[in-house]
Amino acid sequence: MDRLDATLLGVAGGWRMWVLAEAGDLDAASAAHAAWVRDVQPLVPQVIVPWVLAAETAVAYRINDAGLAARLCDDVAPFAGHMLGGDTALLGFGDYLIGRVAFVEGRYDDAVAATTTAIELTDRWGLDLLTTRHRIDLARELLARNGKGDADAARAILTTALETAERLGLVAATTEARTLL
């Protein structure tokens, strides 16, 4: 974790808060986000804004912070249909950020629509890791929406996600899919 704080992308991109949120250390993620907003956000280079939005969206999603999600809503919207990332990694299409923000805000229909688009796009590109993560998000959204057929659809999606996560060795995704099943 200390190495994240030794690089421009790690500090400016908010990787500490992102890693903590995804690892489930939600209080530490929230504290890291607050410190990042206070000390770093005003100085973030525009070139890494997609990375920052992915980090902040992960924090909002994992700690269920509707206020942060509302602030991010307009920021993530322009990235619909656009692949985010850089020369070191692909983060996914902006639609998954839009879906996560909508989920936290309780706009489940919008979340399902955006995440479904993210799945279609990553699947078309053959990005199994991202597709698996997005499928888990979609299942969570369907379970929260709780409409007719949503629980059955979520189970089918989670079964597919679990199979792929196990095949790829994605420990966190495997655990999350099993927990939701």
Domain membership of residue 68 (yes or no) is: no
Does residue 174 sit in helix, strand or coil? helix
The answer to whether residues 111 and 33 belong to one domain is: no
Domain membership of residue 141 (yes or no) is: yes
Does residue 127 sit in helix, strand or coil? coil
* Confidence label for 42 from pLDDT (cuts 50, 70 and 90): confident
Q: Closest Cα partner for 172 from 6, 5, 19?
A: 19
The answer to whether residues 98 and 155 belong to one domain is: yes
pLDDT digit string (tens) for 82-102? 999 876 788 889 999 999 999
Count of domains observed in the chain: 2
Domain membership of residue 52 (yes or no) is: yes
Tokens (6 digits) for 44:
């973030």
Per-residue pLDDT at 43:
86
Q: For residue 11, is pLDDT > 80? A: no
**Cα–Cα distance measured from residue 12 to residue 114, given in angstroms and rounded to the nearest whole number:** 27
**Cα–Cα distance measured from residue 132 to residue 18, given in angstroms and rounded to the nearest whole number:** 19
The answer to whether residues 102 and 126 belong to one domain is: yes
The percent of residues above 70 in pLDDT, for the chain, comes to 94
- Expressed as residue numbers, the domain containing 121 is 77-181
Looking at the DSSP bridge assignments, the partners of residue 90 are: 85
Least confident interval from 1-5, 49-53, 105-109? 1-5
Domain membership of residue 160 (yes or no) is: yes
Per-residue pLDDT at 158:
98
Alpha helices in 40-170 (DSSP H): 49-63, 66-76, 94-104, 108-124, 128-145, 150-168
Domain membership of residue 87 (yes or no) is: yes
The answer to whether residues 119 and 53 belong to one domain is: no
Query: CA 108, 130, 120 angle in degrees (round to 5)?
Result: 60
Domain membership of residue 99 (yes or no) is: yes
pLDDT digit string (tens) for 122-171? 999 999 999 999 999 999 999 999 999 999 999 999 999 999 999 999 99
Per-residue pLDDT at 75:
94
Domain membership of residue 69 (yes or no) is: no
Q: For residue 56, is pLDDT > 90? A: yes
DSSP per-residue codes, 133-173: HHHHHHHHHHHHH--TTHHHHHHHHHHHHHHHHHHHT-HHH
Q: What is the CATH number of the domain that holds 114?
A: 1.25.40.10
Q: Closest Cα partner for 49 from 99, 13, 15?
A: 13
Looking at 11, 34, 63, the residue that finishes a domain is 63
